[in-house]
């Protein structure tokens, strides 16, 4: 009787552990939906009222963040709470700019307002040396940084996952081609590669058009350049994880049951057992892209002049344009807020990624 009850207890524990793992996997799989939530606000472009375009997305986004903060506090995950709070400027900027881009873009036109006005009721964060509303430049710059990061993350996953799978193939030619591509991006410094690629593209495209490159072309190109150069970080994880899983008993059992190789690879291995690692890595890539994008904006503004700014407003470009505030210690609000939102966003996303990584390790 005791032996029977002991077996039932062990079986119950195994079922509970399996349930916990499935719940954690569902939570990790839901992260991308939250990350791409700002795109929902595209629908508010159908409204004519600026008040509706700004107020409703503001309330909805703040409501989502309050819910997530409350949930993380309830779970006593205080680091995740901190990470969520820190990323508010990034996602709030993206949501507002996506819902009413024309309004904020108008307020970023040079000499639109008096220059170097300190924060006030009319200009919450003041104006810069060019006569632009700093709050609006941060909102538009945040949207651009978000779009570049989203595009780069998707490109890295789209290119990195197949490359990682090819690295595990028995076919020597396919494996060697994938290895050469991966090692190329591992050897070449990422910032150097992206700077050269974007510099050439921006000069060529702007010269062909006879004018400055517009954001509609520059933002996707920046996302593509950063994403394709981030390929190894995804490919190596896929290679390592898939190689480990191919030797597991459940894979051997599936093969012996005549389950198709494609189904085993893409469903049982990749989807069921690798998606969590992919989501965690995508989170880190998102944060790294914001840092690279800001550095590129700063470098382009200083080193390439008007033609090489990338064709869009970014937090790094805002910092470069207001750098004399730091050099001469004047009008410090011009650079204070861009520095704060950049640091907060990168730090917040990294904290969330680190929390998800620990969450994943505890699942194993």
The tens digit of pLDDT for each residue in 233-264 reads 999 999 999 999 888 888 888 888 888 888 88
Q: Per-residue pLDDT for 39 more than 70? A: yes
pTM, full prediction: 0.86
Q: Which fold has domain 2-363?
A: MetI-like fold (1.10.3720)
Residue-wise pLDDT tens digits, 261-303: 888 888 888 888 888 889 889 999 999 999 888 888 887 777 6
Residue 12 clears pLDDT 50, i.e. is over it: no
What is the percent of the chain where pLDDT is above 70?
84
Query: Which candidate, 339, 349, 332, 242, places its Cα nearest to that of 285?
Result: 349
């Amino acid at each position: 009787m005791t032996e029977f009850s002991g077996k039932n207890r062990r079986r119950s524990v195994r079922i509970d552990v399996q349930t916990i793992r499935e719940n954690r996997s569902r939570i990790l799989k839901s992260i991308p939906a939250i990350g791409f939530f700002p795109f929902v606000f595209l629908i508010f472009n159908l409204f004519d009222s600026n008040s509706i375009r700004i107020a409703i997305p503001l309330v909805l986004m703040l409501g989502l963040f309050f819910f997530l903060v409350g949930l993380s506090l309830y779970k006593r995950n205080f680091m995740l709470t901190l990470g969520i709070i820190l990323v508010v400027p990034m996602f709030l900027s993206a949501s507002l700019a996506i819902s009413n881009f024309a309004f904020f873009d108008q307020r970023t036109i040079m000499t639109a307002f008096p220059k170097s006005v300190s924060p006030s009721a009319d200009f919450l964060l003041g104006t810069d040396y060019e006569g632009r509303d700093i709050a609006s430049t941060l909102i538009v710059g945040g949207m651009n940084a978000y779009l570049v990061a989203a595009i780069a993350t998707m490109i890295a996953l789209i290119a990195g996952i197949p490359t990682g799978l090819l690295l595990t193939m028995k076919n020597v030619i396919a494996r060697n081609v994938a290895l050469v591509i991966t090692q190329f991006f591992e050897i070449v410094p990422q910032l150097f590669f992206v700077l050269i690629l974007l510099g050439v593209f921006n000069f060529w495209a702007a010269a062909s058009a006879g004018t400055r490159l517009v954001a509609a072309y520059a933002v996707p190109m920046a996302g593509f350049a950063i994403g394709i150069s981030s390929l190894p970080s995804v490919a190596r994880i896929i290679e390592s994880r898939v190689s480990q899983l191919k030797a597991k008993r459940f894979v051997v059992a599936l093969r012996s049951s005549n389950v198709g190789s494609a189904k085993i690879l893409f469903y049982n291995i990749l989807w069921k057992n690798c998606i969590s690692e992919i989501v965690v890595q995508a989170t880190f890539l998102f944060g790294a892209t914001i840092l690279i994008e800001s550095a590129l904006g700063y470098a382009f503004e200083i080193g390439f002049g008007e033609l090489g700014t990338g064709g869009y407003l970014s937090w790094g470009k805002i910092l470069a344009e207001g750098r004399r505030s730091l050099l001469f210690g004047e009008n410090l609000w011009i650079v204070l807020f861009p520095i704060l939102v950049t640091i907060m966003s990168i730090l917040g996303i990294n904290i969330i990624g680190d929390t998800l990584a620990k969450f994943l390790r505890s699942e194993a």
